[in-house]
Amino acid sequence: MPAERLLPSTEAEDLLALTREIARDELAPRADEYEQAERFPREQFRLLGKSGLLGLPYAERWGGGDVPYEVYLQVLEEIASAWMSVGVGLSVHTMSCFALAFYGTDEQRDRWLPDLLGGDLLGAYALSETHAGSDAAALSTRAVRDGDEYVVNGTKAWITHGGKADFYTTMVRTSPAGSKGISCLLVAADTPGLSAATPERKMGMTASTTSQMIFSDARVPTDRLLGEEGAGLRIALDSLASGRLGIAACAVGLAQAALDEAVRYATERTQFGKSIIDFQGVEFLLADMAAAVESSRATYLEAARRKDRGLPFARQASIAKLVATDSAMKVTTDAVQVLGGAGYTKDFPVERYMREAKVPQIFEGTNQIQRMVIAKELRNA
């Protein structure tokens, strides 16, 4: 059964109806083919852009939709439910606009934000490096001022949309002073000296390109510095707190898709003369899956409502990310179990869902890092 939602307005209901229509007609039918061919769904992102879905939670003044996170995240969930790579891509794009939207000057926002939110451009977020993953403050990509340009050297790693994006919100080191020496640059894809490495060969989300981005004497104009020099890590962590809500919503969408497939199969499949959903062993499994999906949804919505009201939400966002992605891993694994041998084949989508569920436990802060964020708040309470 489709997710039952309580939405705050008629416009939100119409927005969700539009999203479901696009998800059902344009995304779901192509997901399997693109994932198998490792083909990047660029044209699908263009359709989302044309429909106004690439700037939803940002201000109308710069072309955003001005919708609350509570609504934006449910849009994201529906898209991820149809196609996880596109859902995560939308979440990453939205996060990559965050630094400019909240730390850029009015002049910078007037100049670039309408293009970022308007639908033609796709964004990427470049924080990690090979030796600086969870320990992001250890990043070493250097940016040295030369007149009105920064000369950037180094390699950013695990970049979603690497080589496909039009702009890269990039954290660089502008001084040696540890976590205070990091700055945020809005780097255009056609910057001389910027190139993408060969894409990673991944376990899942194979239609979404992930690669290293190599900065080799790349020259970035200093007017592309977002926030002050040295504010980069705070901007990065701030972006991630919102980004985590996006990942939680995507994980719920993925788990919902797995649950729907499992229920469909369990209703149709008969053994010992009855549908397997009528065996307690299966119905309890499905009930637990539904409980995991719906409680995860409630958890991310609670965090979103706090954010929408301007309340602190970092702990709730980490809890939502932790709970929703661990749930998605369990639900997708159990969906394979419900489908039995069929579930282990590529003739059904659940094995793909199970592969796709793994990485949300890892990216945008591993679930171990989420526990550290949660525990830190407990300790400081």
Partner 1 sequence: MTNIVVLVKQVPDTYSERKLAETDHTLDRESADAVLDEINERAVEEALKIKEAGEGEVTVLCVGPDRATDAIRKALSMGADKAIHVSDEALHGSDILATAKVIAAAIGKVEGVDLVIAGNESSDGGAGAVPALLAELLGMPQLTYAHHVSVEGSAIKVDRETADEGITHLEANLPAVVSVTEKINEPRYPSFKGIMAAKKKPVETLTVADLGLDAGEVGLDNAWSTVSEAAPKPPRTAGEKVEDDGDGGTKIAEYLVGQKLI
The answer to the question of residue 120 lying near partner 1 (CB under 8 A) is no
Number of residues that bind partner 1 (CB under 8 A): 16
Task: Among 11, 106, 120, 146, indicate the residue that binds partner 1 (CB under 8 A).
Answer: 11
Active site (annotated) includes residue 43: no
Q: Which residues pair with 173 in a beta bridge?
A: 142, 182
CB-nearer residue toward partner 1: 72 or 215: 72
Q: Say how far residue 294 (Cα) sits from the centre of its chain.
A: 19
Q: Read off the amino acid at residue 56.
A: L
The two structure tokens encoding residue 88: 């995560």
Distance of closest approach, residue 298 Cβ to partner 1, in angstroms:
24
**176: buried, middle or exposed (CB in 10 Å: 19+, 13-18, 0-12)?**
exposed
Site string (44-63) toward partner 1, x via CB under 8 A? ---x--xxxx--x-------
What single string gives the DSSP state of each residue in 36-52? HHT---HHHHHHHHHTT
Binding part of the chain for partner 1, among 16-24, 85-93, 239-247, 360-368 by CB under 8 A, reads: 16-24
Asked if 152 interacts with partner 1 (CB under 8 A), we say no
Left if phi > 0, otherwise alpha if psi is -120 to 50, otherwise beta: which for 77?
A: alpha
- The piece of 18-26, 120-128, 228-236, 353-361 that touches partner 1 (CB under 8 A) is 18-26
Window contacting partner 1 (CB under 8 A); options: 9-17, 101-109, 122-130, 203-211: 9-17
Shortest distance (Å) from residue 4 CB to partner 1: 13
SS3 153: strand
Nearer to partner 1, 205 or 304 (CB): 304
Give the nearest distance from C-beta 253 to partner 1 in angstroms. Answer: 19
Shortest distance in whole angstroms from residue 56 CB to partner 1:
7
Q: Of 12 and 322, which CB lies nearer to partner 1 in the complex structure?
A: 12
CA angle 218, 219, 220 (to 5 degrees): 115
* Both structure tokens of 156: 């950013």
User: What residues from 66 to 105 belong to the interface with partner 1 (CB under 8 A)?
Assistant: 67
Shortest approach of partner 1 to residue 239 CB, angstroms? 23
Could you say which of 22, 185, 186, 329 contacts partner 1 (CB under 8 A)?
22
Burial class (CB in 10 A: 0-12, 13-18, 19+), 192: exposed
Q: Which of 1, 4, 6, 10 binds partner 1 (CB under 8 A)?
A: 10
Q: State the virtual CA torsion across 256, 48, 194, 102 in degrees, nearest 10.
A: -90
Q: Which is nearer to partner 1, 14 or 146 (CB)?
A: 14
| Residue 379, number of CB atoms within 10 A of its CB | 7
Catalytic option among 35, 261, 351, 364: 364
Binding of residue 7 to partner 1 (CB under 8 A) = no
Scanning the chain, the segments in alpha helix (DSSP H) are 10-22, 28-37, 42-50, 69-82, 84-103, 106-118, 232-268, 280-308, 314-343, 350-358, 367-380
The residues carrying an active-site annotation are 364
The footprint of partner 1 (CB under 8 A) covers 10-11, 14-15, 17-18, 21-22, 47, 50-53, 56, 65, 67
